[in-house]
Amino acid sequence: MPENYPAQPSEITSEETYAKLRNDPEFWEPWGRRALDLAGLAAPRALRIPGESTNPVLIADTGAVVKLYGEHWCGPESHAAESEAYEVLAGQDLPVPPLLGRGELYPGSSGWPWPFLVMATASGITWREASARADRPTQLTLARRFGAVLRRLHSVPLTGSRALRPDSPVFAELLTERRAATVADHREWGYLSDRLLDKVEDFLPDVDTLLDGLEPVFVHGDLHGTNLFVDTESELVTGLIDFTDVYAGDPRYSLVQLHLNAFRADRELLAALLDGAQWQVPESFAEDMLMFTFLHDFDVLEEVPTDLSGITDIGELARILWDVR
């Protein structure tokens, strides 16, 4: 092993130590440089961490993005999902930064091999940045254009081998797990009243019933405000990143983080997106989407600016969050 390559990160021995170090730029820089070297890419002058992330991410001043996958915090599953997604998305007409390299920092190691992917940097700025500076007409145009991108994403052929194959059980298994845990989780998160949460068990259908007759599509389950990139001048969607939460599943699931996190429950933006996606909006849309809100894998209400704690009626909550009719 060349002398400038560091030994494996022995400081990471548990979920807790990983959580403490996962976004530390000085800690991860040597491993980011190693990944770029192993991928045959130019050595950068500097690397930076763009912000909070589940997996360590470093952006090089050369335009490369290194993503490392540890053995903690679902790292193996995240690596498998993102690798599969890039294989399925290759050659599709989508603003997905190309994959530049992949490998393992320590292949053949008796310990964790530390797999990595290297992608190009997405152009433009994040939706979160854009929504803070763009005027209302630009926001609505971008939302409508992202609807068209979402429609194309949902049309990508499901040619994967695990989560992204048409008969994959992964999505249904996820919803089943979430159905069992959602009431307890929402009580802990504290955005909703106990009186409303007492009604959720009866409100949610059986997962098999919910998905009956579903034609699965490519679902990106984490379309939050920093996973979507846009150009406010050209009013174009320029980047779609982070494919660790992808499924062959129900397209409605992909709207949850997008609307409640990226759009912060702005129903006018949602309506523009649905228009751009040519989405058929049935009378049951609001309640259907509330079902997927409760079945989503994340704390999806944390960016909603409305105080929801006084609502006790399921229908009222559905209308406040999702009514676009």
| Distance, CA of 125 to CA of 33 (rounded, Å) | 25
| Distance, CA of 40 to CA of 30 (rounded, Å) | 16
Complete DSSP assignment for 58-72: EEETTSEEEEE--SS
The H helix count followed by the E strand count for the chain is 13, 10
206 is a catalytic site residue: no
The three-point CA angle 174-262-88 to 5° equals 50
Among 135, 167, 202, 222, the active-site one is 222
In terms of Cβ atoms closer than 10 Å to its own Cβ (0-12, 13-18, 19+), residue 18 is buried
Please compute, for residue 58, the number of CA atoms within 13 A of its CA located in the half-sphere on the CB side: 27
Q: Indicate the Cα dihedral angle 237, 240, 245, 246, nearest 10°.
A: 80
Residue 100 near residue 90, CB atoms below 8 Å: no
Could you give the angle at which helices 285-295 and 170-189 cross, rounded to 10 degrees?
80
Residue 280's CB is within 10 A of a number of other CB atoms, namely 7
Q: In one letter, which amino acid is 84? A: E
Tokens of 101: 């390299």
| Distance, CA of 270 to CA of 174 (rounded, Å) | 25
Radius of gyration of the chain (CA): 20
| Catalytic positions, written as ranges | 222
